[in-house]
Homo-oligomer: A and B are copies of this chain.
Amino acid sequence: MKVDGKVMRTIWVEPDGWSVGIIDQTALPHRFATARLTSLDEVAHAIRAMLVRGAPLIGAAAAYGICLALRADASDEALDRAYALLLATRPTAINLKWALDEMMAAVRNRPRAERGAAAYRRAAEICDEDVAINIAIGRNGLPLIEAIAARKKAGERVNVLTHCNAGWLATVDVGTATAPIYLAHDNGLPVHVFADETRPRNQGASLTAWELGQHGVPHTVIADNTGGHLMQHGLVDLIIVGTDRVTRNGDVCNKIGTYLKALAARDNNVPFYVALPSPTIDFAVADGVAEIPIEQRGADEVATMTGRTVDGRIETVRIVPDGSAAANYAFDVTPARLVTGLITERGVIAATRASLASAFPERAGDRPTEHR
């Protein structure tokens, strides 16, 4: 996608051929900044502190974390240490484990001298595959928007609501939930996005709104409380969200608050779709509510907000009284029964065990694996 007219991805290998460039997403939307990562620890920090975030991008970043670890030390011990360190950075998005397992498979059985080059090759493939998958998600999701547009009167917009950021910033490029939206917009369909601000970290207001704005897609930021009212009044045609993990039964783990929007969608007969690349499916898990670990982050993310003052300074302000506790659950699980369909690289499928196994037979045999 474009940033100020220049085509970019969210992660890349720098011209030196080994260090890793990223967009520092904690500076958006007020400042566009990139960062250069040169070690395993810097990658782990970038994931933990959310300089990079979004399930697919976390996977891609972790892949490069393995590359940088092997560059410093190509031993089995160093590899295992890097795997464990990166796996522990964030608990919920399964793409992290998927990418780490892919990297292990690519390097483990090679001589040490070949491991570094093999790692960089596989990491680059993971990135390119992510982009190809997202393009396919866009193509598969486009007819959903086209069908709504066909029912509208001339000049009426198709209103898509999304939660958090499942845009190109959450992936290597193109995005998941945004892929059909960008394609529809590029094809001239009058699409408009309601972007939930997505407290506490406000990825909707700071990232989704920013990237939609950069691409020229009309959008309106709303408080997370607003979607139900909009749906009651016919102002939302379609919901598309991303996900951090989909179970083999079709339960969808995504940013906290997604479940509330799915409930409102069902109550108002608004279609609720989830866009996902297949590495987000966790066939080892069945019941999302019971089994997926939900990350709890620091209370400060709830107790404070960061933004730009009128005179251009970036300030963090406290918004709860001194002495009040705050809790910060980062994700929730939307049961499969509330999901209209899953938009995948292999088509739009039902959120059911049978549909998932049939669309991805080569992965449906995955069984719970212990951390090696």
A residues near B, CB below 8 A? 28-30, 194-195, 197-200, 202, 205-206, 209-210, 212-213, 218-230, 232-233, 255-257, 259-261, 263-264, 267, 289, 294, 302-310, 314-321, 323-329, 331-333
B213 A199 Cβ-Cβ under 8 A = no
B267 A263 Cβ-Cβ under 8 A = yes
A232 B259 Cβ-Cβ under 8 A = yes
A223 B224 Cβ-Cβ under 8 A = yes
Name the contact of A260 in the complex, choosing from B194, B228, B328 (C-beta under 8 A): B228
A226: which B residues are within 8 A, CB to CB? 256-257, 327, 329, 332
A302 B332 Cβ-Cβ under 8 A = no
Q: For A334, give the chain B residue with the smallest CB separation.
A: B228
Q: Compute how far the CA of A290 lies from the CA of B79 in the bound complex, rounded to whole angstroms.
A: 62
Name the contact of A325 in the complex, choosing from B202, B219, B306, B327 (C-beta under 8 A): B219
Q: Tell me, rounded to whole Å, the shortest Cβ–Cβ distance linking A348 to chain B.
A: 25
Q: Compute how far the CA of A43 lies from the CA of B153 in the bound complex, rounded to whole angstroms.
A: 45
Complex copy number for this chain:
2
Which secondary structure characterizes the binding site on chain A?
mixed
Q: Compute how far the CA of A30 lies from the CA of B228 in the bound complex, rounded to whole angstroms.
A: 31
B321 A206 Cβ-Cβ under 8 A = yes
Q: Compute how far the CA of A261 lies from the CA of B305 in the bound complex, rounded to whole angstroms.
A: 23
B205 A320 Cβ-Cβ under 8 A = yes
Given the known A-B contacts A228-B263, A263-B263, A327-B220, are A209 and B256 also in contact in the complex, defined by CB atoms under 8 Å? no
Q: Compute how far the CA of A172 lies from the CA of B197 in the bound complex, rounded to whole angstroms.
A: 33
Instruction: Offer 8 A-B interface pairs, CB within 8 angstroms, sorted by A.
Output: A30-B318, A194-B327, A195-B324, A205-B324, A223-B328, A225-B332, A229-B259, A232-B289
A221 B263 Cβ-Cβ under 8 A = no
A320: which B residues are within 8 A, CB to CB? 29, 197, 205-206, 209, 221
A257 B223 Cβ-Cβ under 8 A = yes
A230: which B residues are within 8 A, CB to CB? 329
A332: which B residues are within 8 A, CB to CB? 225-226, 228-229, 232
Q: For A259, give the chain B residue with the smallest CB separation.
A: B228
B317 A305 Cβ-Cβ under 8 A = yes
Closest CB pairs A-B (n = 4): A225-B257, A307-B317, A29-B321, A229-B332
A317 B317 Cβ-Cβ under 8 A = yes
A206: which B residues are within 8 A, CB to CB? 319-321
Q: Tell me, rounded to whole Å, the shortest Cβ–Cβ distance linking A125 to chain B.
A: 33
Q: Compute how far the CA of A213 lies from the CA of B324 in the bound complex, rounded to whole angstroms.
A: 7
A324: which B residues are within 8 A, CB to CB? 195, 205, 209-210, 212-213, 219-221
B210 A225 Cβ-Cβ under 8 A = no
Given the known A-B contacts A229-B332, A232-B332, A260-B260, are A308 and B317 also in contact in the complex, defined by CB atoms under 8 Å? yes
Q: Compute how far the CA of A305 lies from the CA of B319 in the bound complex, rounded to whole angstroms.
A: 8
Given the known A-B contacts A260-B260, A321-B213, A326-B220, are A199 and B197 also in contact in the complex, defined by CB atoms under 8 Å? yes
A328: which B residues are within 8 A, CB to CB? 222-223
Q: For A265, give the chain B residue with the smallest CB separation.
A: B263
A233: which B residues are within 8 A, CB to CB? 289
A228: which B residues are within 8 A, CB to CB? 257, 259-260, 263, 332
